[in-house]
Chains A and B, each alone.
Chain A
Amino acid sequence: MDNQPEQRPLGEQVLATIKEGNVKMRSRWYFRLRDILAVMAIVIILLMAVFLASFVIFVLHQDGAWFVPVFGLAGWYALFNALPWVLILLSLGFVVVLAILARRYQFGYQWPLLYSVFAVIFLVTAVCFVFVQTSLYGLFFASSVPQDIPFIGSYYPGIGVLGPENIHRGEIVIATADGFVLLDSSGRVLTVLVGPDTNIPFGASPQAVFRPGELVVVFGDISGTSTVKAIGVQQLQQ
């Protein structure tokens, strides 16, 4: 004879556990709040990624490296060398975290992770470029707010000073017969020699560009102590 007690059907066991009050159905608000928090986390990380990407553009603007690809392959190479890789890797870290967070939802997991990463990179880049176009961008990064942020603040003393040796951003002090004298962003006075081979993009005439007070980026190595034979000169908008 089987003395084992007959086991109750699973449905009854589950219902009994529920009726005993040991488990309670979570309210819709619980899930709404959870979704809101998840969306907030996604938005905050997105903003942090946009902030870092915008800061990278700010650094490249200040160093002048942003403007040199217009001078061809050598310009692209100079830009590549000037990229702040730590900041870029940090931004990519945020992008990957964002893509992984999005995988909680169908729109995130229905594509390969690589596509999600590309989509987030595209989104961050698009938002970043829109931000860069606004007047808020320059004002924000020139203010003391980002300088008080740990890690980001440590970058500020080097901006425009520790940039690439062959890129010089500054203001024209005096126009000379064979070029001009430049006061660069680190405070150095450089004599810039402009020859017939010097690339001045967008068909601008030297006479129109090389006027005292104009902001320019000069691309070329320093020879001697303070002379630059310019490969290219790019006029910046004031």
Chain B
Amino acid sequence: MPERTDEEVAVEVQKGDMESFRILVERYEAKMSRYAKRFLFAPDDADDLLQEIFIKAYVNIRSFDASRRFSPWLYRIAHNEFINALKKKKKDRNNISLFYVDVLFPHPVARETADDATSRREIREVLDGSLEKLGPKYREPLVLYYLEDMNYKEIAEVLHIPVSTVGVRLQRGKTLLRQLVKRVEGD
């Protein structure tokens, strides 16, 4: 019997099958943990945050539209939790803004770059070591694209920004990464 999709499982939970929710938690626990680690950097309260994400997902699961993908919906909840967690941290509070100018203006439609496998692996390696030096604005799309393997449209759904802005943030994030690498190599 083929494995049920996330969306099918979510529908069962919506109907009141509490046990099916365990399947969703098991499927996404590692992903959410990795996302938290890369976005928040081993926070003391990571376990509490993960629990909070899944509890919020359970409480609000009837707002999930099963005709759409479950993954961006859950990542959106995680994104909101992480942003709230960052706001509580003194160090990151100033890097979080309610409004970013890049969502105001139109950008040329950013096509998804077809990074070849080598280039993608290299970016992943650099990214893993330099994430902390990037602000949340550029860090998050880079994490979602290169480390969580989401496409532009899914990232746009998670961050609630236009698809073209996702492309712009990824380009600028990569440029910042290159500058960081050059600086480290120069030292």
Binding site for B on A (CB under 8 A): 9-15, 17-19, 23-28, 30-31, 103, 106, 109-115
Contact = CB atoms under 8 A, between A and B. Distances in A.
B105 A15 contact: no
Contact of A18 (B21, B103, B162): B21
Q: Majority SS of interface residues in chain B?
A: helix
B123 interface: no
Contacts of A19: 18
Nearest to A31: B63
Chain A CB count within 10 A is highest, among B55, B156, B165, for B55
Nearest to B55: A23
Interface string B21-62: 110011001000000000000000001001100110011111
Interface in B50-88: 50-51, 54-55, 58-63
B61 A25 contact: yes
A113 B58 contact: no
Contacts of A12: 22
A27 B162 contact: no
Contact of A26 (B22, B29, B47, B62): B62
Nearest to A14: B54
B160 interface: yes
B184 interface: no
Given A17-B51, A112-B104, A113-B103, A27 B161 contact: no
A26 B21 contact: no
A17 B55 contact: yes
B22 A25 contact: no
Given A13-B51, A14-B55, A114 B105 contact: yes
Contacts of B51: 10, 13-14, 17
A110 B79 CA distance: 18
B95 to A, nearest CB: 21
Contact of A15 (B18, B107, B157): B18
B147 interface: no
